[in-house]
Structure 1
Amino acid sequence: MPSPRPAITPFPTTPCADRYEALYQEFRWQVPDDFNIADVCCVRWANDADRIAIHYEDESGATGILTYADLHAQALRCAGALRTLGVERGDRVALILPQRPETAVAHMACHLLGAVAMPLSILFGPEALEYRLQNSDAVVALVDAAGIANLEEVLPACPALKAVVALDDVGGGHHGWEGLLAQAEPLPQAVGTRADDPAVLIYTSGTTGSPKGALIPHRALIGNLTGFVASQNWFPQEGDVFWSPADWAWTGGLMDALLPTLYFGKPIVGYRGRFSADTAFHLMQKYGVTNTFLFPTALKMMMKACPAPREKYQLKLRAIMSAGEAVGDAVFTWCRDALGVVPNEMFGQTEMNYIVGNSARQWPARPGSMGRPYPGHRIALIDDAGQMVPTGQVGEVAVCRTDIHGHPDPIFFLEYWRNPEATRNKFSGDWCRTGDLALMDEEGYLWYQGRADDMFKAAGYRIGPSEIENCLVKHPAVANVAVVPKPDSERGNIVKAFVVLTPETRRGAEAEAALIAELQAHVRGKLAPYEYPKEIEFIDALPMTTTGKVQRRVLRLLEAERNRGARREAAPA
C-alpha cells in the first residue's frame, strides 16, 4: 500500500508574489507502478477512528457523518457483495447515485475489486441510461429512489446487467443495499492494480454524435493533484473542509472534489438536493467550509442573490476554484471583494483534467484568464495542422504526452471505450487536443476564447461569446446569458444574446424593449462595435448540461431551425 504522503513534490505554504517559474520548472512526477485509488483515498486513513470523511445532509434536513473507518468497513462489505453478484476485475459497475455516503462507499468497493466504476447522473433519462449501460456492458447497477424508475424502464434492453442494487427500499424485486451488505462477507483481500489499470468510465456529452466513454486509469488521480493543490491554495491545511455542488457522477465532482479530498484524508460535505444560492451559503457556514469548487453559473446566482454575503453569513472560505465556463471579471471582482477570496479559475477535460489554472497563493490570478499550465503539464496552442501558433494568436489548447522533462504525464485517459477512431482523432502526434480555443500571452497566461465550435463569424469578424457574455452579466438586470450566431443573409451571422433576467427586473413589452436598447448600449460602450448583440431574446432559463455548462449548441440549432423555417415561408409557392 502506498505511504500516506502525497504523490507530488510538497509545495511551500507561504504566500509569494509569483513563484510560478520555480514551481513549474522544479516539479517532478512520482508515479508508482502499483497504485489503487481505494488504497490512497480510504484504506490508509481507516485506522484513525475519529477522522471524518463525509458530512452528509439532504433537502429534508437529515444529516449524518461517515468516518474513514466506516468508509473502509462498508467498502469491504460492498466489495464482497458485488463479488457475490458476479463482479470481476475489469467489469463495469454503474453507479446511478447522487451526493450521498453510499456513493463514496461504492466507488471504493469497485476499486478494491479492481472493477471499473461508471458514475451516471440521476438526471439521466431512459434513453441516456440505456445507451451508456448497453455500450459499457455494465454488469451491476447501484441506484437510489431518484433513478430507479428510469433504470427499470430500460432493463429489458440491457441484457449484460446481471443485478440491480437498490438503495432507499424502492422494492421491485431488486437487491436491497442494507440487506445485501449485512449478509455479505467483507472482501478478504483487495485486488492489486497497476497505475495504468482502468478505474473509472465517464461518458462525455461532446457536441456531436453519441457520447464517448473516457476510460480513466488509477494514475489519473495523481495527475490531478498538482492542479487541485494549487487551485485550492495549497490544500490540505489544518481544519480544511471541502464542499462543491458538482455532481459526483461527473469529472468535476469526482476528480475535482470527492477523490482528491479523500486522497488527503480531509472531510467533504455531500448534499443531496437542488442547488440554490441560499443552500450554498447555508452549507458553507454550517460546516465551516474552507475550500470549494463552484461553477461560474453558481457564482453568478450567488452574486445576484447576496451581493454582500459577509454581512449575513459567517464564512471560513480560503479558496474558490471555478471551471466549466469563463469566470469573467464581474464574478472575479465579486469573489475577491465580497467573499474576500480571489477565485482560481481552472481548465481541464474528462480525458485530461486539471491542466491549466490559477493559484492566487503562488502566482497572481488575472481576472478573465484561465491561468497558467499547472506543474507537470506541458501545454501549447496548436492550429488545425497540429503546429504551435505564435504567442498572442488564438489556437486550440493541447496537452503533451510528456512533461517538460520528457517524463510521461499521468493525467491522460486510456482510450475512448470501444471507439479507437475517436481515440486516434483526439491526438495530433504527442499533443492531445481539447477542442477549446485560447490565446497565450507573454507570461504564459491563457485567455479562453470559447469552444472551437462556439466561435463564429459575423460581418467578417471572428466572434467569441465569452467576452460579450461577461459584459452583459455585469448589468444588474441580467442573471445569466448565452451568445450565439443567428444566420443572416447579408452578414452571414449576427450576434444574438439569450438573456435570463433577475427576478426583480420589470417585465412587459414596453419595459423589455427599453431594456434591450439599454443592454445593447451597455455592450456597445464597452466592447468593439461589431460585438454588441443586434438581437436579444429573453428566456426563463438557459439550456444547461448536468455539470452546469451552458449548451450554446442547443441555442445555435434553434436559431438555425428558425432560419430554415423563415426561408421556407418566404419561398414563392
Structure 2
Amino acid sequence: MAGPGDKGMPTATRRQGRDTATQAPLDLYAALHAEFRWQVPAEFNMADACMRRWATGAASARRTAVIATAPGQADREHSYAELFAQANRLSNALDALGVQRGDRVAIVLPQRFETAVAYMAVLQMGAVAMPLSQLFGPEALEFRLRDSEAVLAICDASTLAAVQGVSAACPLLTELIAVDAPDGAARGGALDWAQLLAQEEESFAPARTRADEAAVLIYTSGTTGNPKGALIPHRALIGNLTGFVCSQNWFGFDPFDASRASEAVFWSPADWAWTGGLMDALLPTLYFGRPIVAHNGRFNPQMAFELIERHGVTHSFLFPTALKAMMKAYPQPKRHFRFMLQGLMSAGEAVGDAVFNWCRDELGITVNEMFGQTEINYIVGNCARLWPARPGSMGKGYPGHRVAVIDDDGNECPVGVPGDVAVHRRDVHGELDPVFFLGYWKNEAATQGKFTGNMANSWCRTGDLAVRDKDGYLWYQGRADDVFKAAGYRIGPSEIENCLVKHPAVANAAVVPKPDKERGAVVKAFVVLSPGYVGDASLIAALQAHVKGRLAPYEYPKEIEFIDALPMTTTGKVQRRVLRAKEEIGGAGATS
C-alpha cells in the first residue's frame, strides 16, 4: 500500500495545506483518488505488519505498544518487544494444543494487553481469530462457537463462566484458556494463561500466509435471521488503511510539514471484539507502531476525558452515542480537562450537526464521520485535513474505494435520489480493492446475495440508504429496514433523532414507526432524558414544537415515550428493530 508519507501523497499535499491566495482549505480529494494505487503483496500477515516488524527492530522494539488501564489498578505500559515475546509463547502453546492453520480460535476478552497478545499469536500461526464480545449472552455465544466450529477459546475471569456454560453444546471446542481466572477446581478445567505461557519459548516461526488467506471471522449483528460470519482476509487491513489515516487526520504524520509530525496515542472505547474496535483501532494503531490505550472498564464521560488527559491521547474513535453523552455531561470540557486531540472519527450512527458543532467548538477538532460494514470496512468518510468536511455528511469514498449510490438494478442514482450505498470490487483504476471480505462462513447464498452482478466485477451493497449531492458527498438516510412511510411520506429516523438531541432535555433518542390504521404509521420517538428533566405532558409538547419548528410538518413525533435507556448493540448502534417490534405488538406510550 502507498503509505502516508511522500510516496503516496499528491505533490500539492506535500507543499501546503491551504490555498495561499484565499487561505481556504485545499480540496485534494480528486488528486488523492487519481494518484493513489494499491500495493498488495502476494504474501501478507497482519501480525507481521502489526508486531513482528516493530519488535525485531532495535529502536522500535522498545516503543510502547499497549497502555493497559483498569479501575483500581495502576496503569501498565507494554512494549512491542513484550508483545512479541508473549505472542510467540502463546503461539507455541496453541501449536502444542493442536491448533492448526485455518482453525478458528475464539477470543472472548475485553480491552487488555492479553487480548492484543491473543490476536497476534493466532494471526501469526495462520489460524483464524474469532472475536466474541464479553457482553454476549449464552445463546449468542453458543451459536457463534458452534457455527464457526471453533476449536479453542481464550477467556478471562469475566467471560470464562459464560463460555463454560455453553461449551457442552460445542463438541469441537476442546480447550479453554483463562486469563486471571480462579485457581484449581474453580477454573473448571480451563488452562491457566500464565502457567501455559511460562512453559513455552519466546521464539516462534510464523506461517507465511497469502494476502487473501482468512485471518478473522467476525459475526454480523443478525438484524434479520441468524448472525452471519464474515470471513476477513489478511489483505483487508491494507484496504482499511486509507480510511484510518484519513479519518484520523493523517494519524500523527503531517502531510504538509514533515518537521511538525508528532507521535500519536490512540484510544477508543470500541470493543476489540467488533470491527470498529479491531480493524479501526487496535490493528491499524499497531500497524503504524504507535501505542494504544486498552481500558478494561465501562465507558462514562468522566472516564473518557480523564483517559484522554492522563495518557495524552491524540487520536480517537468515539461513536455518536459516546459523543452525545460527553457533550451532555461536559458542554465546555476544557474548563475541566486538558487535552489536545488531533484526530477524531465517529461511526455507527449519524453524528448530526449538534455533536459536530460541539466537537469543533469545544473539543477543538473536526469530527470525521465514517461509514463502513463488517464485510467492507472503512469505505466512506471525511478527512478535514485533506478535503472539507460537511456537518452531517457521511463524506465521500476514501482513496482506493469506488463508492456509489445505486438503485435496485445496480445503476447509479441521480443527485438527490436515495439509493443503496455500494462499493465496487475494483477501484477507479480497475484494480481489485483489497478491503473486501472473502464471503460469509458456510453461507454461499448470502455471499452471492451481497453482490449485484459477477462477484469479481460487481457492486457490493451495504443495505444502507443515502443520497449524493452535486459535489459527491453522501448523506445518510438510514438502514433500508429503518426507513418507513407515514401518511405517504418517506421518513428517515436520523434527521428527527438529531433534531431531538439538540434540545437540552434529550440525552438520546430513537425514532420508529408506530402502526396506525388511518395513516399506515405515525412517527414515534423514544427519548432518554438528560439529568434534572421530568418526562411529562408539557415536555412532550415542547419537544414536538421543537421538531415542528425545524423539520417538515410530517416529521414531528406524534407520540413520545420516555425510557431509561435505548436498546443498543454491542457496537454502540441503536437497535431500532427492538423498538419497532415493541410497537408492532401494541406498545403504549404518551401521546399528544
TM-score for both structures, normalised by structure 1 = 0.96
- Percent identity over the alignment? 65
Match of 2:568 among 539, 544, 559: 544
Give the superposition deviation at 1:124: 0.6
Does the aligned pair in 2 maintain the 1:229–1:236 contact within 8 Å? no
**Inter-partner Cα distance in structure 2 for 1:189 and 1:7:** 33
Give the superposition deviation at 1:316: 1.6
Match of 1:266 among 290, 295, 299: 290
**Inter-partner Cα distance in structure 1 for 2:2 and 2:525:** 52
Give the superposition deviation at 1:470: 0.4
Match runs of 1:357-396 below 5 Å: 357-396=381-420
Q: What one-letter code is carried by the residue in structure 2 that aligns with 1:454?
A: D
CA deviation vs aligned residue, 1:353-383 (integer Å, no higher than 9, x gap): 0000000001111000000110000011111
The equivalent residue for 2:69 is 57
3-state SS in 2 of match to 1:49: helix
Aligned alpha-carbon RMSD (Å): 1.7
Q: What one-letter code is carried by the residue in structure 1 that aligns with 2:483?
A: M
The equivalent residue for 1:167 is 179
Q: Quick check: 1:192 aligned with 2:201? A: no
Does the aligned pair in 2 maintain the 1:458–1:485 contact within 8 Å? yes
Q: What 5-or-longer segments of structure 2 have no aligned partner?
A: 19-24, 254-261
Q: What one-letter code is carried by the residue in structure 2 that aligns with 1:251?
A: T
Does the aligned pair in 2 maintain the 1:236–1:264 contact within 8 Å? no
CA deviation vs aligned residue, 1:260-308 (integer Å, no higher than 9, x gap): 0000000000000000000000000000000000000000000000000
Does the aligned pair in 2 maintain the 1:497–1:533 contact within 8 Å? yes
Structure-2 change in CA distance of 1:94 and 1:187 (3 Å): farther
The equivalent residue for 2:315 is 291
Give the superposition deviation at 1:8: 8.3
Deviates more, 1:244-253 or 1:227-236: 227-236
Q: What one-letter code is carried by the residue in structure 2 that aligns with 1:215?
A: L
Q: Quick check: 1:149 aligned with 2:148? A: no
The equivalent residue for 1:571 is none
Match of 1:210 among 218, 226, 232: 226
The equivalent residue for 2:83 is 71
Structure-2 change in CA distance of 1:186 and 1:161 (3 Å): farther
Deviates more, 1:379-388 or 1:344-353: 379-388
CA deviation vs aligned residue, 1:303-350 (integer Å, no higher than 9, x gap): 000000111111021111000000000000000001110100000000
CA deviation vs aligned residue, 1:388-416 (integer Å, no higher than 9, x gap): 21121100000000000000000000010
Q: Which aligned runs of 4 or more in structure 1 are off by greater than 6 angstroms?
A: 2-8
**Inter-partner Cα distance in structure 2 for 1:36 and 1:234:** 23
Structure-2 change in CA distance of 1:43 and 1:3 (3 Å): farther
Q: What one-letter code is carried by the residue in structure 1 that aligns with 2:155?
A: V
**Inter-partner Cα distance in structure 1 for 2:417 and 2:7:** 33
Match runs of 1:490-529 below 5 Å: 490-507=518-535, 512-529=536-553
The equivalent residue for 2:125 is 113
Match runs of 1:337-356 below 5 Å: 337-356=361-380
Q: What one-letter code is carried by the residue in structure 2 that aligns with 1:435?
A: G
**Inter-partner Cα distance in structure 2 for 1:480 and 1:426:** 32
Match runs of 1:303-322 below 5 Å: 303-322=327-346
3-state SS in 2 of match to 1:269: strand
Does the aligned pair in 2 maintain the 1:8–1:29 contact within 8 Å? no
Match runs of 1:15-94 below 5 Å: 15-16=17-18, 17=25, 18-46=27-55, 47=57, 48-94=60-106
Q: What 5-or-longer segments of structure 1 have no aligned partner?
A: 567-573
Q: What one-letter code is carried by the residue in structure 2 that aligns with 1:26?
A: E
3-state SS in 2 of match to 1:302: helix
Does the aligned pair in 1 maintain the 2:178–2:190 contact within 8 Å? yes
Does the aligned pair in 1 maintain the 2:85–2:203 contact within 8 Å? no
3-state SS in 2 of match to 1:25: helix
3-state SS in 2 of match to 1:498: strand
Does the aligned pair in 1 maintain the 2:4–2:245 contact within 8 Å? no
Does the aligned pair in 2 maintain the 1:216–1:351 contact within 8 Å? yes
The equivalent residue for 1:569 is none
Q: What one-letter code is carried by the residue in structure 2 that aligns with 1:36?
A: N
TM-score for both structures, normalised by structure 2 = 0.93
Does the aligned pair in 1 maintain the 2:102–2:214 contact within 8 Å? yes
Q: What one-letter code is carried by the residue in structure 2 that aligns with 1:208?
A: T
